[in-house]
């Protein structure tokens, strides 16, 4: 990877963004943006928090990965996201080193970004997301 990845956001699974946002607003964290990501089956809200962001993840249907997560574990931290400059190169390098990716190609993420998840068994029990911001996409 050309540059050291930086923490992009912490994903938090919630049953309802509207209900969960109350706590974060009380802490002084505004909702920066809310959008639906059909490919991932979620509605997301980003809240800036210092040099990173919190991402509230609400399922859009019962078959959503977030709905399944909530059924199994309840609300809480879902994933950590690291921003990379070139997601395809990062994916190729990680796969070549034996890390298990959850997709062979980058997927569409919030704000037009490209994302790929590493399986928790390849990342010390943490669901790790690689994120390439839309401005850096090079398709």
Does 1 map to a domain?
Answer: no
Does 93 map to a domain?
Answer: yes
CATH of the domain at 51: 3.10.180.10
Residue 139 pLDDT: 46
User: Which residue from 95, 96, 92 is spatially nearest to 119, judged by alpha carbons?
Assistant: 95
For 60-118, how does the pLDDT look when each residue is reduced to its tens digit (9 = 90+)? 999 999 999 999 999 999 999 999 999 999 999 999 999 999 999 999 998 899 999 99
Residue 4 pLDDT: 87
Residue 138 has pLDDT above 70, yes or no: no
Q: How confident is the model at residue 1 (pLDDT cuts 50, 70, 90)?
A: low
Does 35 map to a domain?
Answer: yes
Does 108 map to a domain?
Answer: yes
For 2-61, how does the pLDDT look when each residue is reduced to its tens digit (9 = 90+)? 578 999 999 999 999 999 999 999 999 999 989 999 988 999 999 999 999 999 999 999
Does 37 map to a domain?
Answer: yes
Number of structural domains the chain divides into: 1
Range of the domain at 114: 6-136
């Amino acid at each position: 990877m050309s540059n050291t990845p930086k923490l992009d956001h912490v994903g938090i699974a919630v049953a309802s963004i509207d209900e969960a946002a109350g706590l974060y607003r009380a802490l002084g964290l505004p909702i920066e943006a809310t959008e639906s990501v059909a490919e991932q089956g979620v509605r997301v809200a980003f809240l800036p928090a210092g040099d990173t962001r919190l991402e509230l993840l609400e399922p859009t249907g019962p078959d959503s990965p977030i709905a399944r997560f909530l059924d199994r574990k309840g609300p809480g931290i879902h994933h950590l996201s690291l921003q990379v400059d070139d997601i395809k190169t990062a994916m190729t390098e990680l796969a070549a080193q034996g890390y298990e990716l959850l997709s062979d190609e980058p997927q569409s993420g919030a704000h037009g970004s490209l994302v790929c998840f590493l399986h928790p068994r390849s990342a010390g029990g943490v669901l790790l997301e690689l994120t390439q911001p839309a401005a850096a996409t090079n398709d």
